[in-house]
Structure 1
Amino acid sequence: MAKHDEFDDFFGDEDDTPVVDTRADGRLLRVPLRRLAPNLVNPRIDFGTEAELIDLGKSLLRRQIQACPAVSRSAYLKLWSDHAERIGDVDYVLVTGERRYRGATAAGSPTLNCVVDDGLAKDRKTFMEAVVSENVDRQNFNPIEEAYAVQSLVAEFGSNRAVAQHFERVDGWVTQRILLTHLASEAQDLVRTKAMPLDAARSLGKLARDNAWDGPKQLAWWADEQKQRATASAERSAAKKAGKASAIPKPLTGVKRAGAQQEADQFYGRKTVSTGTVPGEPQVAAQQAVISAAGEGAGPRPSDEPAHQNRVPDPRPAGKEVETAGVTSDGPWHSGAALMDAAVERLSPSERSKFVLRYFQVSSGVDAVIEDMRGTLTVEDRSSLAVILQQIASGLLR
């Protein structure tokens, strides 16, 4: 039992598991590359470019942190006796770490650190699980390599479900990967280079399996699929642009503009001028009323009636003063409309234009629309929206 002292009590460390020497089953050795060979059942075929392998090899020359798992030559040949001539006269066979082996070879490194454990060669199932699991768990395979790796596991485990349960995945995880093995080499190259997305590759793999399609038929299907995807993408873009356009209010014309003018009259406490004109035609008197609201210059209100007769009636009891020191109901503060009249009369023409535009934005809900669309509008869209709002303001002031 490991030594126990007061530090263990203080930190709550009650782990008495002893350190075990595992050299009988797992020995760390520095193996010369000439006495070492990669296994011949590794589904991985993409190990990187020559330059990448040289960089890896130089890194291993400085320090190899992760040792490569390996088995003895005799243990490996018990599983695949027909590989004897191909692996040559070596002492050990790699389980994983072929990329490190290739990198060390490319950089001229003489040795590679290996952990030798013949328990990994207990049977083919155990060996293949060790070969594949590291790459699958760490996602070091490209999709095609992963497909053939999973296929090799199915051959050893006996069924898709057995493999899925071993790796704690759903059955579909195995099926979807094996579908890629039915692709022709040309289609597989498209998947490796990411020119064909995985969803399309799996659909094509199923069609190729069920219909026994050869390479040309598979490529023809992909060409047609690309056209359909491009069309669908264009339709989505058009629908998105149409949605943005419908959210922007159109300039008011005809009766709608006249209605907006009447709302402005009510806001400023003016009488609405009835013109009797045909709907849609310019209503001169109403336009003059809007101009009088915005004002062409400071001065008295152009009205034959006293100004107080055009104001909104005061809802408070007669004679009650505003509860503000020095301000009574006789001043312009007795109603919102009178206060706005007083403010407008003191604005320059350009300020009046901004004032009317701002009122329209708030009263019509344009502000809320702009805020909703702010995150989706491009700079060009915002510029177009600004122009439309200016047109609206001009329509109200004409």
Structure 2
Amino acid sequence: MAGRRTSLASLAGQKVDTVPGQSDPLLLTLPLATLVPTRFNPRRNFGTDEDLKAFGLILKRRQLQPAVVVSRAAYLKLWPDEEPNVGTAQYVIANGERRYRGSLAAGLTTLNVVHNEDVAKTRADFLDAILSENNDREDLDPIERALGIETMVAELGGADQVARHYDKTKGWVSQQRKLLKLTPELQGLVSTREMPVRIARDIASLPAGEQAAAWAAETARRQEPKPAVQRRGKPQAAPDPAPAEAAPVYRGKPVDAPDELPADPPPVHQAAAPEPPPVVVPEPRDQEPAPKPTPWVYSGDPAKPLPSDAEQPGRVRQLPTHDWEQLADIVIAELPEEALQSLTEKLLEAVGADSPRGQSA
């Protein structure tokens, strides 16, 4: 096995044997000629040649994160038909292809890797290792993720197996793969973030011939100016009307000398019109009183009989508040004994006298 081999456990101070093919992950520095990327990596955008060269120069100074590889034998055990793609390489890169490409672009000859055979236990484990790194990227391309899920569906034998592996529903798998139904042009817009994934999945449900028109309509709608939101505020007070200029009043000489008007009499504001006198409402005492012997005729009590015509020269329409004696006669005649007692107490209280009930008590 070519290259320098170091166990990750030994880096922590533990001595372990480095047996080729063991499952314990090993940190190695391998020549680039012994490595080959897996064909199942869904990543398509690795950057421009200039980006890769700049990245490789960073790796030349210090490589903080190693790539993950499996042995040729473990990889071909999972995919025997991949031997032509592996060639003479001794290791297959599960994740870290961009580090591999950057090293090549910068002219490096070696790459730090972790050899972990556990990654190649099953096809699902290997493909999951590839997708795990891509899913953790901040610039994850949704189309690349969809390609990775599609690869897992093809290699594991169906969407049910992928859903079971990720502990997801079959609908979740379908949603991930749905973006691959877009035309290549629209997939490019999704990769560059020009088309939101939510909109892309809706358009992907349409036939390929209608997708471009649907995106054009959506673009036009998104470019329409949004109506301004009117905020509710306090109503503005109407401006005070400008005061009308009062006509100047001449206050010069008497009428017998009208020819000697002043050249420019100073303007004088017109005095405010006097307020109209208040309307005087006549008190009952200003009305014509009823004859004194006239009793209070209508009481509203059906139990009391009405007086005969001879006994009522005229009906009183208003209490005679101007004649306290007549008013008292009416109240005494109308109120029952209990009410008279309460009225008496109130009158005594009003003048500051003692209550007759209190005295009797």
Fold in common (TM above 0.5): yes
Per the alignment, residue 75 of structure 1 pairs with: 74
Alpha carbons of 1:160 and 1:303: their partners in 2 closer, same or farther (altered >3 Å)? farther
Partner SS state of residue 146, structure 1:
helix
Equivalent position to 1:219, from 196, 208, 212: 212
Per the alignment, residue 33 of structure 1 pairs with: 32
Of 144-153 and 86-95, more deviation after overlay is shown by 144-153
Alpha carbons of 1:303 and 1:138: their partners in 2 closer, same or farther (altered >3 Å)? same
Partner SS state of residue 31, structure 1:
strand
Q: Confirm or deny that 1:87 pairs with 2:47.
A: no
Q: Confirm or deny that 1:229 pairs with 2:247.
A: no
Q: Equivalent residues in 2 for 1:84-123 (5 A)? A: 84-123=83-122
Per the alignment, residue 58 of structure 1 pairs with: 57
Distance 2:172 2:17 in 1: 36
- Residue identity matched to 1:88: G
Q: Equivalent residues in 2 for 1:134-213 (5 A)? A: 134-156=133-155, 163=162, 166-167=165-166, 173-207=172-206, 213=207
Q: Deviations over 1:254-286 (max 9, x none)?
A: xxx6xx68xxxxxxxxxxxxxxxxxxxx77389
> Would the aligned equivalents of 2:30 and 2:113 in 1 still touch at CA under 8 Å?
yes
TM-score, scaled relative to structure 2: 0.57
Partner SS state of residue 238, structure 1:
coil
Distance 2:104 2:52 in 1: 9
Distance 1:72 1:158 in 2: 24
Alpha carbons of 1:54 and 1:45: their partners in 2 closer, same or farther (altered >3 Å)? same
Distance 1:54 1:89 in 2: 25
Give the superposition deviation at 1:115: 1.3
Q: Deviations over 1:148-203 (max 9, x none)?
A: 11222344556657645655667665443221111110110111222222221111
Partner SS state of residue 133, structure 2:
helix
Distance 1:35 1:102 in 2: 14
Partner SS state of residue 39, structure 2:
coil
Q: Which has the higher helix share?
A: 1
Distance 2:163 2:203 in 1: 23
Distance 1:19 1:170 in 2: 43
Give the superposition deviation at 1:85: 1.4
Partner SS state of residue 112, structure 1:
strand
Give the superposition deviation at 1:18: 9.6
Alpha carbons of 1:58 and 1:22: their partners in 2 closer, same or farther (altered >3 Å)? farther
Unaligned runs of 5+ in 1: 1-16, 208-212, 262-281, 287-300, 306-398
Q: Equivalent residues in 2 for 1:1-398 (5 A)? A: 19=14, 21=16, 23=18, 24-25=22-23, 26-156=25-155, 163=162, 166-167=165-166, 173-207=172-206, 213-214=207-208, 216-230=209-223, 233-234=224-225, 237-240=226-229, 243-244=230-231, 247=233, 249=235, 252=238, 284=244
Per the alignment, residue 380 of structure 1 pairs with: none
Q: Deviations over 1:113-154 (max 9, x none)?
A: 111122211111111011111211334421110111122234
- Residue identity matched to 1:229: R
Between Structure 1 and Structure 2, whose CA radius of gyration is higher? 2
Give the superposition deviation at 1:227: 2.2
Of 198-207 and 88-97, more deviation after overlay is shown by 198-207
Give the superposition deviation at 1:239: 3.7
Alpha carbons of 1:168 and 1:134: their partners in 2 closer, same or farther (altered >3 Å)? farther
- Percent identity, aligned pairs only, is 39
Q: Deviations over 1:341-363 (max 9, x none)?
A: xxxxxxxxxxxxxxxxxxxxxxx
Give the superposition deviation at 1:27: 2.0
> Would the aligned equivalents of 2:124 and 2:165 in 1 still touch at CA under 8 Å?
no
Give the superposition deviation at 1:21: 3.6
Distance 1:164 1:99 in 2: 28
Distance 2:125 2:49 in 1: 32
- Residue identity matched to 1:147: A
> Would the aligned equivalents of 1:34 and 1:90 in 2 still touch at CA under 8 Å?
yes
Q: Deviations over 1:2-36 (max 9, x none)?
A: xxxxxxxxxxxxxxx99574843222221111111
> Would the aligned equivalents of 1:44 and 1:141 in 2 still touch at CA under 8 Å?
no
Partner SS state of residue 136, structure 2:
helix
Alpha carbons of 1:22 and 1:200: their partners in 2 closer, same or farther (altered >3 Å)? farther
Give the superposition deviation at 1:87: 2.0
The Cα RMSD (Å) is 3.5
